[in-house]
A and B are shown apart, each in its own frame.
Chain A
């Protein structure tokens, strides 16, 4: 067997040793460094510690702090002070928190509705970590009413506007080829704007991710992987069918997916903001979201205007594009996780930019038949301006 292997491949015992040699040397160097310190003086005068408060939960007469040790070494929670009062507390699973480990700190405190609180967590090395509660109110717990509340937010912000946009389908079908190309360009413009917006939001969440999880790197991985994966899928589909109509339908679905991830991110942000009292979902804001997101529905149907997709397919596209807003609101409202938010938003950005690439290819086919440079220019610009102007209502 071994003889056979050595004969057929050039992977000899010698090459295995040569391959392993650097690794063995590496282990040796690490061992040497660990035992001698490598001649560096690594003792620091002040302990380097990190503690992220990922979320706080206010319940009647009690407070929960969900924390993560983001420092290089194990830390021990030693004291809790809230608004200048030392409070007895307990930590689960333990006051000792491993590197990147999580724990929940519980303490009783008779907080009052609408007031502000400052909490200091002291570790055993007397390193303080501060938590601000700008406005105290009972954290929404999963219950029928908050559940439906978040669902409604998602419906208004995501599902309804996307479907409203899709309802333009019959009207837009009457348009000529040139106008349809213009609409495709508008869609590309919308997506460029949404892509930038998604990326910006991902960067914002990335700053809240514990540094050890490298939020920016996560954005790169999520977006590049999604872009290349969708690209591969689309190329494969072209190889398999080569049918122009199917391709356009596929692009429409991919737009729906990209917009779906964007809406998931939007839902996450709204749910999380609502959870910490940073947002009052006024009617004006909801109206703004509906107006802005109606353009997303338009974007989804633009590639298939000249075809006859079934009603069921249109409905599924609408759900894919708008539904994630509801899921996002649930996740953001109940278990805000910056890590997940960054990942979803990065996937969304990757998907959106890939779809722009696909649309660009479709537009290129149209413009190859009939030159219309101003149509593309004005369309893309119109798409971006639509979102910018309607965005004024929300920001």
Chain B
């Protein structure tokens, strides 16, 4: 008898010491419910035990960010970047060819890449990726590049052009455009395909990782078959603590954006994705489409698909065109099948809806 009361005493004394969250929740969770009749003070005491989580629970535990980055302050929204093609200022030259003029400015800009964290980025025209420059094979291209930042930068295009237009240090004024200076890159657009451009100033890895890259599409003269949706996806990462390791991965700069805002398409609609990998610090990147297969055109330099697959791998600066359509409605993931990247942000969704039935009487 005596020992029991002593034991109870110790128990109570011990519990009194757990003045912590753990102790309190334990006490509340394990509180015998009948011992807390609802009518003691008219209100159930169980009600306010656990504060409702601000996390999305849904069907299970899933990686993701909380909240939304400020797209307005960032100056771009990845949803719009998907379909934002810059065809330049078009005019016809004396020889009858098409001239396209683009104005690009290098700018320092803090970009909120995940909610609450701003990355001191270097950008083309204030966005990541830079504008998707699009033209047709044989067009004459003129890019008026102005360096509005406080570091030397360049634009180095993948494609045919003269050495002076290569945007690499040691090739003349276009190879190291100083802050405040302007340089005009000029060349004929060839070969057709999906290419890219990026800064090529030393230290190169840092200049690329900071955000100076974009897609460059040269359409074939004959054009590609018409599709219902064309979209650009530039895969990259962000090393926010500058240890030469990426902390976040994404398509079109904002991690988890298309997971939080699924891309809307309909059953049977044809989709063409221009996919570019410019990921720094990691060797490989990849793209995997769920519940579907796609035709793959590496570098887009052929009109014949090289592969019918659901997963492709790209090293840095590799790119290719994907074509597919969905048979069934539903929500389908697309992500890097380097799954580590997927859980660090490179994950998105297609939301495929039924075609609206058009009724004819």
Contacts and interface: CB of A to CB of B under 8 A. Distances in A.
Interface of A: 57, 61, 64, 66, 76-79, 81, 84-90, 92, 95, 104, 106-110, 120, 122, 124-128, 139, 141-144, 147, 151, 330-331, 334-335
B344 A81 contact: yes
A111 B30 CA distance: 24
Interface in B24-65: 26-27, 30, 51, 53-57, 61-65
Given A79-B116, A122-B247, A142 B241 contact: no
B345 interface: yes
Contact of A79 (B10, B20, B27, B117): B117
B340 interface: yes
Contact of B114 (A76, A86, A106, A334): A86
A128 B117 CA distance: 11
B118 interface: yes
B117 A122 contact: yes
A334 B55 contact: no
Report the 7 A-B pairs with minimum CB-CB distance, sorted nearest first: A78-B116, A85-B343, A126-B240, A88-B55, A85-B63, A108-B61, A84-B340
B11 A90 contact: no
Given A106-B53, A330-B14, A86 B116 contact: no
A81 B10 contact: no
Nearest to B66: A88
A84 B55 contact: no
Interface residues of B, number: 42
A84 B345 CA distance: 10
B53 A79 contact: no
17 contacts: A78-B115, A78-B117, A79-B117, A85-B63, A86-B63, A86-B65, A87-B61, A89-B55, A106-B53, A108-B61, A109-B61, A142-B27, A147-B11, A334-B17, A335-B18, A335-B22, A335-B23
B51 A81 contact: no
Contacts, number: 108
A306 B57 CA distance: 71
Contacts of B117: 78-79, 122, 124-126
Contacts of B204: none
B281 to A, nearest CB: 14
Contacts of A110: 61
Nearest to A90: B54
Q: Most B CB atoms within 10 A — which of A64, A139, A335?
A: A335
